């Protein structure tokens, strides 16, 4: 059974636009998913990229157009200027790491945090928002607190692992030695797992 290592950030609009397509592909191809939240702004300068605020205006303009086009194409609501962006991704990431440790609807949880930022104007850095989203997906709202030290250590380790494995942006998917960057490469991932690419 193949494993998809999914590197993502719970504040990334492109991770949001991936929706549940990864999970659909994994189910179809009998693959498992390892969810690996990371601090994308810390990854970018280590791998030749730039954080959004430091990018040239032409890149910022293109990013907004791409988000608009993909939002329309996928029929997914997306606020181009969310009320709480950027927000500290650590609290949501810790919650996801803790949820993965105890088991449950991790996929739904990941998508809920992304939706909270880009479609619901919620602040995923706020404790009450994190706990509400955890509870809504069947998790003990206190698991992030209970597993805080482990989650913080894992979050830092995820960044090191990502950099070591050639991850330079999010969403990023790795199967074996094959790398796929961007939600617009999910079709290629599907073809690869299906033996057609």
Q: How many CB atoms lie within 10 A of CB 195?
A: 7
Mean pLDDT score, 37-41: 96
Mean pLDDT score, 31-50: 95
State CA 61 to chain mean position distance: 22
With tokens 């939600």, the residue in question is 183
Q: What is the CATH number of the domain that holds 156?
A: 3.40.30.10
Q: How many CB atoms lie within 10 A of CB 12?
A: 20
How many whole angstroms separate alpha carbon 179 and alpha carbon 89? 24
pLDDT tens for 60-73 read 999 999 999 999 99
The answer to whether the beta carbons of residues 167 and 6 sit under 8 Å apart is no
Handedness of CA 107, 143, 135, 120 (dihedral sign): negative
pLDDT tens for 142-183 read 998 999 999 999 999 999 999 999 999 999 999 999 999 999
The total of structural domains in the chain comes to 1
Predicted confidence at residue 41, as pLDDT, reads: 93
DSSP string, 17-49: HTTTHHHHHHHHTT-EEEEEE--HHHHGGGGT-
Q: Where residue 111 falls among pLDDT bands split at 50, 70, 90?
A: very high
What is the percent of the chain where pLDDT is above 70?
Answer: 100
How many whole angstroms separate alpha carbon 10 and alpha carbon 113? 6
Predicted confidence at residue 72, as pLDDT, reads: 98
Q: How many CB atoms lie within 10 A of CB 3?
A: 13
pTM, whole model, 2 decimals?
0.96
For all residues of the chain together, what is the average pLDDT?
Answer: 96
How many whole angstroms separate alpha carbon 106 and alpha carbon 115? 14
pLDDT tens for 132-142 read 999 999 999 99
Range of the domain at 106: 3-193
Phi, psi values for residue 29, rounded to 5°? -100, 10
Which of 61, 6, 4 has its CA nearest to residue 32?
4
């Amino acid at each position: 059974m193949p494993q998809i290592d999914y590197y993502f950030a719970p504040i990334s609009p492109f991770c949001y636009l991936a929706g549940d397509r990864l999970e659909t592909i994994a189910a179809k191809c009998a693959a498992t998913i390892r969810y690996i939240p990371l601090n994308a702004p810390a990854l970018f300068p280590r791998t030749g990229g730039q954080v959004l605020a430091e990018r040239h205006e032409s890149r910022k303009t293109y990013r907004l157009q791409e988000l608009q086009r993909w939002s329309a194409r996928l029929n997914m609501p997306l606020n181009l200027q969310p009320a709480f962006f950027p927000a500290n991704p650590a609290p949501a990431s810790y919650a996801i790491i803790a949820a993965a440790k105890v088991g449950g609807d991790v996929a739904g949880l990941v998508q809920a945090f992304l939706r909270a930022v880009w479609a619901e104007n919620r602040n995923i850095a706020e404790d009450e928002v994190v706990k509400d989203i955890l509870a809504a997906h069947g998790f003990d709202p206190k698991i992030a607190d209970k597993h805080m030290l482990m989650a913080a250590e894992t979050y830092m380790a995820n960044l090191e692992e990502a950099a070591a494995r050639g991850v330079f942006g999010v969403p990023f998917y790795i199967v074996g030695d094959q790398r796929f960057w961007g939600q617009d490469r999910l079709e290629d991932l599907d073809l690869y797992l299906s033996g057609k690419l």
